[in-house]
């Protein structure tokens, strides 16, 4: 488990996820309820993602854009 609040760099995280993908590992992510309404199970954030919801990560790709490159999950 990697806690993103531990401030690991994007490159280190990308390398870890890429290596896990090469090993056909099962990968997932979740956004824990961030102190909103504890009685509500899933709370939609401005990003469109939900607190209290689990997500499957099926691939990791580095993509070139006009402004540089980004990592997509």
Burial class (CB in 10 A: 0-12, 13-18, 19+), 20: middle
Position 8 scores a pLDDT of 85
What is the distance between the alpha carbons of residues 24 and 59, in angstroms, rounded to a whole number?
10
Question: pLDDT tens across 28-70, in order?
Answer: 998 887 666 667 778 888 989 988 889 999 999 999 999 999 9
Position 7 scores a pLDDT of 81
Total count of domains within the chain: 1
What pTM, to 2 d.p., does this model score? 0.71
């Amino acid at each position: 488990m990697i806690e993103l609040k531990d401030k690991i760099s994007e490159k280190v995280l990308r390398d870890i996820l890429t290596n896990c993908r090469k090993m056909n590992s099962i990968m997932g992510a979740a956004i824990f309820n961030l102190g909103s309404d504890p009685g509500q199970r899933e709370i939609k954030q401005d990003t469109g993602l939900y607190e209290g919801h689990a997500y499957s990560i099926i691939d990791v790709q580095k993509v070139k854009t006009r402004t540089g490159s980004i990592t997509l999950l």
